[in-house]
Amino acid sequence: MIRSMTGFGVAAGTLGARRVAVDIRSVNHRFLTSTIRLSGDLSRFEFEVRELLRKRITRGHVTISVRFEDEVADRPTVDEARVAAWVAILRELKAKHGLAGDVDVASVLRLPDVFTRQEAAGDDDGKALLALCDQAVDALQRSREVEGATTSTYLLERLERIEAALLRIEARAPERVIAHREKVKAAVEELLGTFSMDPQRLATEVALLAERIDVGEEIARFKAHITAFRQSLGGAPDGVGKRLGFLLQEMLREANTTGSKANDVAITTDVVSIKEELERLREQVENIE
């Protein structure tokens, strides 16, 4: 199954006594890039989270945010016993040395070790964090697979339209070659007039000219690319987006060659239709992992 590069996932759990939520989302990108936002002391695990994303996701710009659901849990608190000790010391110094001024809150809060935080995250918290991130990635991948299935259906519909146009070109091509051969032969005979020319030589030259507008090989290669495209839609562990993009480039090459060789209104009309469908395919393939 193919996956879109666009998706969203969430997970929630606990790290020690703190509840945390993990949000992850992704959009299309040529390569894998990641933005990681970790609250407070969890930032020490940024490398591990980045490695987890690298192993699970091959392409796309991924943004993952880990936040404490209760923001109070990460809010610094005042050590009131230490504040009382500082106040007592300051008042004692003021009285002893006859210092002017008051002992105010702002001054006290600027003193060392007045604020305390909860105990820093340990290794067990790191393991729990990575497990939650892994769950969020699972949800993200499911989301990307759902969108990928919808995209796959759309791509197959576009391929069917291209194949219908190819069948019309394939049916028209032999008629076009015969008509062109007769037209060239008549033109040569009219040009020669009363002059004589070896019939075998004339037939050979006409056949060579006709061969130049034959699009049989282009159609055969185009069909092979379509077959490969369909097979790739089955998915692959490392993604198929780039392969599908390369196949579309080859299809466009064959379409351009067919249009330039045909010199026929009906075939040119179908070639234009094919190129329009290829552009629609390209727009969707750019969002496939």
Residue-wise pLDDT for 21-55, tens only, equals 999 999 999 899 999 999 878 888 999 999 999 99
Over residues 91-125, the pLDDT tens digits come to: 888 788 777 777 778 777 777 776 665 555 556 78
Kindly give, in sequence order, each residue whose CB lies less than 8 Å from that of residue 211, ignoring residues fewer than 6 positions away. none
Lowest mean pLDDT among 67-76, 208-217, 254-263: 67-76
Q: Are residues 236 and 132 in the same domain?
A: no
Q: Are residues 279 and 197 in the same domain?
A: yes
Q: Are residues 56 and 106 in the same domain?
A: no
Question: Is the residue at 153 inside a domain?
Answer: yes
Phi, psi of 23 (to 5 degrees): -115, 135
Amino acid found at 224: A
For residue 54, give the nearest of 30, 29, 33 by alpha carbon.
33
Q: Going by DSSP bridges, is the β-strand pair 115-116/77-78 parallel, antiparallel, or unpaired?
A: antiparallel
pLDDT of 64: 97
Question: Is the residue at 57 inside a domain?
Answer: yes
Over residues 141-188, the pLDDT tens digits come to: 999 999 999 999 999 999 999 999 999 998 887 777 666 666 666 766
The pair of three-digit structure tokens given for residue 104, joined into one six-digit string: 């105010």
The pair of three-digit structure tokens given for residue 260, joined into one six-digit string: 């330039």
Domain range for 101: 77-116
Q: Are residues 150 and 268 in the same domain?
A: yes
Over residues 51-89, the pLDDT tens digits come to: 999 999 999 999 999 988 765 545 567 777 887 887 888
What is the percent of the chain where pLDDT is above 90? 53
